[in-house]
Amino acid sequence: MAAQGRAALRAPLCALLCLALAAARPSPVKVLSDGMWRELLQDEWMVEFYAPWCPACESLQPEWEKFAEWGEDLGVNVAKVDVTEQPGLSGRFIITALPTIYHCKDGEFRRYQGARTKAAFINFISDEEWKSIEPVSSWFGPSSFLMSSMSALFKLSMWIRYGHGYLTETLGIPVWGSYAVFGLATLFLGMVLGLMMVFLADCICPSKRHRPPQLQPQPRKQGPESAHLLKNRYEEQEADEGDVSDDETERKEGSKRDSSPSGVRQRPVPGAAPLEKS
């Protein structure tokens, strides 16, 4: 009976000891933050996006931990991202469902949609099943300008949420007061940005009132040869004009002579035919 009692006590003690050792052993899963996302552009990674309040994420954690123990043998880095603490990374990958798993290799990103078991994860890497999945387009990749903008928007939303919590919980401001503060801040920032845009537009495309006077090109100094040629052309033009004026005066005088009464010519009337003598 004593031996059975000691054996019954040893079992829970061994279980507690195993749990203590497991808790003391560091997790093989790496934890990524917003400032570490560029590490995903190198080597091979399997990244899980999760949230602490997600039941499906909690059920996946044991399998993910077991898979991470094989990471060194498979040559893959196994990591996880808490979307509630790292909104920038959540925005870069546009996480809309939890948990979400991505495979990253040399700057190419593919979404894993297979079974969520340790064996499935190992086969996905060892058999290179990821090659059959189309990578994410470069336009929507985490390193693109569009996704960088989305990351900034997600961070801004998180800062607004923190600010709202600080105003309402720490300072005791009512909710409507917090909304009023953010509304005034939005109006002020919009006014400042509008003034900056007007200033830049005025610098790039100034109005006519503020445009500097344009310098007119000065006439070039003529040399002696060009001045002599111009003088000859001017004399020829004057001579041509004189000839034209003489011709016009002669035409006018001729028209006057024709119009005078003395100048009218009389046509001779033929005489009557002579009568024959009888």
Q: What amino acid positions are annotated as catalytic residues?
A: 54, 57
Phi/psi for 206 (5° steps) reads: -65, 155
Neighbour count for residue 91 (Cβ, 10 Å): 24
C-alpha 270 chain-centroid distance: 107
Q: How far is residue 87's CA from residue 54's CA, in Å, rounded to a whole number?
A: 16
Q: Do you find a cis peptide bond into 99, omega within 30 degrees of 0?
A: yes
The whole-angstrom separation of Cα 27 and Cα 64 is 11
Number of other CB atoms surrounding residue 239 within 10 Å? 10
- What is the rounded CA–CA span in Å between residue 26 and residue 45? 19
CA angle in degrees (0–180, nearest 5) for 217-219-223: 150
